[in-house]
Every structure is written in structure tokens, then in C-alpha cells.
Amino acid sequence: MSRALRIGAGVAVAGAAVVLVLVLPHWLSDAKAAEFARAGCFFIAIVGLNLVTGYTGQISLGHGALMAVGAYTTAILTANHGFRDLWTIPLAGLVAMAAGFVVGLPARRLSGLYLALATFAFAVAMPALLKRFSGLTGGSEGINLFDKALNHSTGALGHVHVLGRTLATNDFLFYLTWGIGLVLAGAAWLLVRGRVGRAFRAVRDSEVAAASSGINTGLYKMLAFGISGFYAGVGGSLFVLVSNWFVSPTTFGFDKSLLLIVGAVVGGLGSLAGMALGALFIQFVPDWAADLSSAPGAPSVFFGAAIILVMILLPAGLGGLFRRLAEPLTRRL
């Protein structure tokens, strides 16, 4: 495919995604819109994780904790410092970005599983730290913006007025998360196609070769973690809003980190449409599994089986299926 065609295809996909996001809430019930909004938070975090794992080739087991940093930034600023919740979203991203750089620090020396352990340590430490510094974080009770800062929580009481229109809260949250998600996904798309993205992929394909071509591998790994932290922070910040303006240490246990990497790989690393499918997968499949049987443990069995099945049938993830289906078409172009 020529360059122009590829960019054209990208624009077409992006346009289709925007239209889909705009019309979808009309077909969704209120409760479903909320669930989709939550999937939107996962989408943002997974797009960020994809930059680290898919493009730079470093496994992160700590992105749930980066989401926690974003979530708590939003909760603390809104509850204790009088910020309006929506304005804290970029701030949450920046704070989590700083945390991402810190998590990425060992990347200057470590690779592969050794680096994975560093991120893992961060994920395991996060809930304990949140409980420990209870003056700031509310301890294991968490922070409930509904009680503490109702007038700073957009849409907490039912409706939101935007651009002269009135939206139900959950529809608003849907547009908010997926709107931000699409913008950030677009930014990621541009990033990986530029100089930085090329460096990321060089590090992934061979650190030695990248280093001998003059790429500062440690720096780029750190950069990947930092940028990815921004995404996770924004996702975490939005996660507070879609979880009834509430956050607690158990919201972001180690299982969230695992869930995110499952979402990224099941969706298909390196494919943005796949990331959306991965986010929907980790949002909805556990619910479907719970609908199948309510016996203790049964939902977990079905969810795990679904993960294994997808991986066996589609080793490149759900996004890989898209690519395979589209190939007969795109080959002719």
C-alpha cells in the first residue's frame, strides 16, 4: 500500500470511529452507557500500555497502579482543593506521567522480566501505600466525591448541559471518555509513526542494534513509560467519574494491572482498533461470565476460559482478526 492510501485508510477508520462514538449512546440504555464509559477508561489505559508493551517491547505489570495515581490525583484535588473534577483530568495525566517516569527509571539498566518485576513491585506496593498515607488518601475507606465535593462533580446529580444541549449523565460520561480516548489514540497514532515511535520499535526489535545505531535505549524506555503513564493517569482519573465519583485502594489492586495487560494482548498489540476490542473484552466478558452462572468461582472459570480460547484461536488478538478479514480487500488497493 502506498503512503497516501495508508494515511487515507487511517483517516477513514478514525472518521468511522468518531461517527460510531457519536451515535452509539442513542442505542444504549442508561446503564449500558455507563458500562461503555468504563470500557472507555480501560481503552485509554490500554492505548498507553500498548506504547510500552506493543511498541517498545517492555512488559508492564504496573499500569493499574499508574491508573491509581491518576484517580487519586483527581479525587484529592476535587475533594480537598476545590478543583472542578473535569479540570483535574489533564493534571491527573501529568502526575501519573511523572510516576511513569519513576517506574521507568530502572529501565535504564533492566530489561525483560527484570523490568517486569520492577513494575510489578510498584503494582503490589500501591494499595499498601494508599492505605498507609491515609491522611492524604482517606486510607482503606477511599474518597467519595459524592459526599465530599458534590458541587464540583460534573453531572453527579443527573444531567449535564453541554453546548446548549442537555445530556443524561451516563451519556455525557460516555462522550467524555470515548471523546478523550479517540483524541489520545490519535495522538498515539501520530507518535508511533514519527521519530520517537521508530526509536520505540527499534528498542523492541533489538536493544543492542538500537543502541549501536545511536538510540539511547534507557531514555526511550523511560520515555515510553512516562507517556504511557499519562494515558493511564487520564484513564484512572475518568475511572473515578464513571465509578460514581468514588475511589478506594481496592479499586486498583494488582488484578487491574493484570486485567489491563490481558486487554492489550487479547485486543492485539499494535492495533488501535484491537485496543478498543480489548477494553470491551475486559469490561464485558466478566459480566457475561457472571450471567452464565452465579456459583462461587464459576464466572472466573468462564472468563479465564474465554481468554485462553481467544489466544488459542487468534494468537495475534482480536485486532489480528480484523486485519485478516481486511487483507483480501487491502491487498487489492
Partner 1 sequence: MIVAVDWAGVAQQVVSGLSSGGIYAMLAVALVLIYRATGVVNFAQGELAMFSTFVGWTLTQHGFAYWPAFLVTVLASFVGGIALERAVIRPVERASVLTIAIVTIGLFFVVNGAAFWIWSPEVKSMPNAFSTRPIRIAGVAFSISDLGIMGVSLLAVLVLWVFFRFTKLGLAMRAAALNPDSSRLTGIRVSWTIALGWGLATALGAVAGLMAAPPLGSFDQNFMQPILLYAFAGAVLGGIDSALGAVIGSLALGVFLNLLGTYVSWIGTDLRQAAALAVILVVLLVRPAGLLGTAVVRRV
> How far is 216 from 150, CA to CA, in rounded Å?
47
Residue with smaller CB distance to partner 1, 28 or 307 = 307
Residue with smaller CB distance to partner 1, 33 or 67 = 67
Residue with smaller CB distance to partner 1, 43 or 120 = 120
Q: How far is the CB of 52 from partner 1 (least distance, A)?
A: 12
Q: How far is the CB of 60 from partner 1 (least distance, A)?
A: 11
> How far is 193 from 218, CA to CA, in rounded Å?
20
Q: How far is the CB of 41 from partner 1 (least distance, A)?
A: 20
Positions in the binding site for partner 1 (CB under 8 A) = 53, 59, 106, 109-111, 113-114, 116-118, 120-121, 124-125, 127-129, 131-132, 206-209, 212, 258, 261-262, 265-266, 269, 295-308, 311-312, 315
Task: Quote the cell numbers at residue 307.
Answer: 481468554
Percent of residues in the chain assigned helix, strand, coil, to nearest 5: 80, 5, 15
Where b means 16+ CB within 10 Å and e means fewer, 6-44 reads eeeeeeeeeeebeeebeebbeebeeeebbbbbbbbbbbb
Q: How far is the CB of 218 from partner 1 (least distance, A)?
A: 11
Helix (H, G, I), strand (E, B) or coil at 165: strand
Cβ–Cβ < 8 Å for 243, 177: no
Place of cell 500500555: 49
Residue with smaller CB distance to partner 1, 152 or 204 = 204
> How far is 120 from 4, CA to CA, in rounded Å?
42
Q: How far is the CB of 47 from partner 1 (least distance, A)?
A: 17
Q: How far is the CB of 83 from partner 1 (least distance, A)?
A: 29
Residue with smaller CB distance to partner 1, 114 or 288 = 114
DSSP state of 167: E
Residue with smaller CB distance to partner 1, 127 or 235 = 127
Pairing of strands 165-168, 159-162: antiparallel
